[in-house]
């Protein structure tokens, strides 16, 4: 069995965010999604793109996701929106052999916990070559369209997968999304990126581990 660092030897479940976490931020998938969100908001509200962009960003800040803001403020059906914004070019995502090997050697359950949709998440996991290593995907639909970091969503996730939080690790690129996990007793790993919005509330969060490349970090963990 892999000789994990002492802080991680009792871990039974590894919980991974998807975007800019399981793949490197340089793939820029979210840039494509961001453009499509703006397009959908502009079309749905019949407003110019520049105004739609402002609406989109304000909803992200105030509601956690553009989707939640559109649902709360404009009674939008989430299904067509999710289909549209996730219809992107996945070619920037390449098979990650370092990640594949590290996850294979990493003991414990592996689960994706994402604010995106399962169909999209599975496309990303397939491109990375790690879909078969993930027990499941807990998506925004499972969360009742309430995004992280709402604490109730973490409770729902833990209940669905029957996880002992004190024997779990959560891995995220948006640092504020780690705070509710830490409150539950999880170890936390922050995947740092160059995106300023991913660092919001940094001063209120103290991750147990920090890295700018999850594949390499996991490879080091399983080698120890």
Give me the tens of pLDDT residue by residue for the chain, a chain 224 residues long.
Answer: 456 777 888 899 999 999 999 999 999 998 999 999 999 999 999 999 999 999 999 998 889 899 999 999 999 999 999 999 999 999 999 999 999 999 999 999 999 999 999 999 999 999 999 999 999 999 999 999 999 999 999 999 999 999 999 999 999 999 999 999 999 999 999 999 988 888 888 878 899 999 999 999 999 999 87
Question: Number of folded domains in the chain?
Answer: 2
Q: How far apart are CA 65 and CA 116, in angstroms?
A: 10
Based on the domain organization, do 142 and 60 belong to the same domain?
A: no
Give the CATH number of the domain where residue 57 resides.
1.10.150
Based on the domain organization, do 77 and 173 belong to the same domain?
A: no
Handedness of CA 151, 182, 132, 34 (dihedral sign): positive
Tokens of residue 156, six digits: 């729902």
Handedness of CA 59, 205, 195, 126 (dihedral sign): negative
Give the CATH number of the domain where residue 183 resides.
3.40.50.1000
Domain boundary among 66, 85, 104: 85
Task: Note down the domain range covering 61.
Answer: 29-85
Domain boundary among 37, 56, 85: 85
**Cβ atoms of residues 101 and 223 within 8 Å:** no
Residue 204 lies in a domain: yes
Based on the domain organization, do 99 and 143 belong to the same domain?
A: yes
Based on the domain organization, do 57 and 113 belong to the same domain?
A: no
Based on the domain organization, do 80 and 105 belong to the same domain?
A: no
Q: Is pTM, for the whole model, over 0.85?
A: yes
Handedness of CA 112, 7, 107, 92 (dihedral sign): positive
Residue 1 lies in a domain: no
């Amino acid at each position: 069995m892999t000789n994990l660092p002492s802080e991680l030897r009792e871990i039974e479940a590894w919980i991974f965010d998807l975007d800019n976490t399981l793949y490197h931020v340089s793939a820029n998938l979210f840039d494509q999604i961001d453009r499509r969100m703006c397009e959908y908001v502009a079309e749905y509200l019949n407003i110019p793109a520049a105004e739609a962009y402002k609406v989109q960003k304000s909803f992200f800040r105030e509601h956690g996701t553009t989707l939640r803001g559109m649902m709360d403020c404009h009674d939008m059906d989430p299904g067509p929106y999710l289909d549209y914004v996730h219809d992107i070019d996945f070619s920037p995502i390449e098979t990650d052999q370092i990640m594949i090997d590290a996850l294979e050697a990493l003991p414990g359950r592996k689960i994706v916990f994402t604010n995106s949709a399962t169909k999209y998440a599975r496309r990303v996991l397939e491109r990375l070559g790690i879909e078969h290593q993930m027990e499941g995907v807990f998506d925004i639909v499972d969360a009742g369209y309430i995004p992280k970091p709402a604490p109730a969503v973490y409770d729902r996730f833990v209940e669905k997968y029957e996880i002992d939080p004190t024997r779990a690790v959560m891995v995220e690129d948006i640092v504020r999304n780690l705070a509710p996990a830490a409150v539950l007793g999880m170890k936390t790993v922050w995947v740092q990126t160059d995106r300023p919005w991913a660092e919001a509330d940094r001063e209120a969060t103290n991750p147990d581990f920090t890295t700018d490349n999850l594949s390499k970090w996991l490879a080091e963990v399983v080698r120890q």
